[in-house]
Structure 1
Amino acid sequence: MNSYELALQVRDCIQKTLTEWSSKIGQDINQETLEVLECSVAQAIEKINPEERDELKVSAKLFIVGSNSPSIRDAVDLACSALGVAQLDSVIIAPPPIEDGTNLSLAYLQPYWQELENLVQNKKIVAIGTSDLDKTLLEQLYLWAQVKPSSNQVNLASCCVMPPDLTAFAKQRDIQLLTHNDPKELLCEASFQEVLQDSIQNVKASEWIPLWLLRYSVIVKSRGIIKSKGYIMQAKRNAS
């Protein structure tokens, strides 16, 4: 699946969930005072049986849409609650795109990484990883961080072969290099508002801002197959 198809898949998932949820709720929504929507379809997420937990790996990739590092805790807490687990085995973070076009820097990453480190220390996450860091930035993060990155995702659409310097550094520091084909923005504000407008009657879509999108996978360790996967997201109402 290419990056365009992935973005369409996300839109489709959000639209189906919102449409089904709003059809059940009907008009019992006060649009003027509402600040948080808890939109879920009960049968869409299968909670993990505690007896099977040791046999499963629960991993997630977190796409930050709004520049708000504390959102990371909300995302992890909601994912754990939805899946019925105490902690996630791994979380990879994709920081929000930088609007002015400047390069990603360690200073920009630090608040997000610190939130992840807190969650590791509080035993909500076992291992944390990064996405799309070159060798220089990965090394800077590794040397600064208290909890070291265990993995780094590389987008093969932008580089067909793993850069040799990145490969050498990752091997030296025991960092797993993974590949992905996610777009830089899996869900943008305009796309979310368009889906919201189409899904819920009379909603003031322009007032709602997406904060984050989390994609999770539940993998059977012994067989390496995906048992379940899905998306969880959060948005806030920003009425003036």
Structure 2
Amino acid sequence: MDPQNTAVNAEANMMLTHAKTLRLHTGNLVNRSRLRKKCPGSPSEELQDCIQATLSEWMSMTKPQSEGFHDTLDCSIPQVTDAITPEEREEVKVSAKLFLCEPVESSIRDAVEMGCQTLAVSQLDSVIIAPTVLPEGDGLTLAHLQPAWEELESLVRSQQIAAIGTSDLDKDLLEQLYNWAQVKPSSNQVNLASCCVMPPDLTAFAKGFDIQLLTHSDPKELMSAATFQQALQEGAQDLNVTNWRLEWVLRYSIIVKSRGIIKSKGYLVSARKVNP
């Protein structure tokens, strides 16, 4: 191995070893040829490939950004930024889906603020939240949804999000949330893997209250702890990954309004190191 590359990897590994929080940005997947060569079979596989490839590329950079590094390490590739210029902001729609891997409401604000900062916008046009995966046997209730929804409502009031939506709610739970919420859900995603036809009661309720029904193919748990650690290990081969935990994943799309095409898409990922 080239001595310079060896030094770069050593410095990058040292930074990862001392970091307490890891923030990772995949950049625009539409333009990343390294990922286009593969065709992931699922959203989970795509995310795993993205984490591994981004971390590996960051590790091999000639100048790791160690200046000003404290506890939070930003693993992103500068040349694959998705920043939106002020001139094109009105022409595009920025949509995101937030997967909370831990039930920490502050993660919602962290994810949205990182999304706005990364994409150079003051507001995300829409954010859909995926319910936190519950222990086996526990059913999703309004009480589970309320803390996260209140945080989303706060971000709507501060104009960091324009519209908020839900995922995988049946008619009864969607109705309970709608009646309770101050900021009403504008959309609800339905997983067609478990429901090949939209339930008639859900369709009727959504139509009556102007809620858009969308479809998706995401698993309930986007990425398991073991799969995340495997992606880290593949991206940084000398890193001890056992104490790293995934906090949240924000998947975003930038869509050209007039043409309905995806200009760019990517992932923002946050993880933290827990005490052994």
Q: Shared fold by TM > 0.5?
A: yes
Tell me the alpha carbon deviations over residues 108-130 of structure 1, each in whole angstroms, 9 at most, x when there is no partner. 01111011000000000000000
The Cα offsets for residues 190-240 of structure 1, whole Å up to 9 and x where unpaired, read as 111111122224322111111000110001111111111111110011123
Aligned-pair RMSD on alpha carbons? Answer: 2.0
Q: Which residue does the alignment assign to 1:224?
A: 260
Superposed, 1:1-240 pairs within 5 Å as: 4-24=41-61, 35-240=71-276
TM-score relative to the length of structure 2: 0.81
Structure 2 unmatched ranges of 5 or more: 1-38
Q: Contact conserved, 1:4 with 1:183, CA < 8 A, in 2?
A: no
Query: What is the letter of the counterpart of residue 9 of structure 1?
Result: E
Go from structure 1 to structure 2 and tell me whether the alpha carbon gap of 1:135 and 1:159 turns closer, same or farther (over 3 Å shift): same
Q: TM-score, normalized by length of structure 1?
A: 0.93
Cα pair distance change 1:47/1:143, threshold 3 Å: same
Q: Counterpart of 2:198 in structure 1: which amino acid?
A: M
Inter-partner Cα distance in structure 2 for 1:28 and 1:112 = 33
Shift of 1:143: 0.4
CA distance in 2, matches of 1:120, 1:160: 32
Q: Counterpart of 2:97 in 1: which secondary structure?
A: strand
- Report how many aligned residue pairs link the two structures: 236
The 8 Å contact of residues 252 and 267 in structure 2, kept in 1 or not, is answered as yes
Q: Which has the larger radius of gyration?
A: 2
* Deviation, structure 1 residue 37: 2.4
Q: Describe the superposition over 1:52-103 as per-residue Cα deviations: whole angstroms up to 9, x where unpaired.
A: 1011100000111112111000000001111100000000000211013211
Any unmatched runs of 5+ in structure 1?
Answer: none
Alpha-carbon separation, structure 1, partners of 2:137 and 2:77: 38
Distance 1:107 1:4 in 2: 34
Cα gap change, 1:51 to 1:61, in 2 (>3 Å): same
Maintained 8 Å contact 2:40/2:46: no
Give the Cα–Cα distance (whole angstroms) in 2 for the partners of residues 45 and 61 of structure 1: 19
Q: Distance in 2 between matches of 1:28 and 1:56?
A: 31
Note closer, same or farther for the CA distance 1:27–1:164 as it changes in structure 2 (3 Å cut).
closer
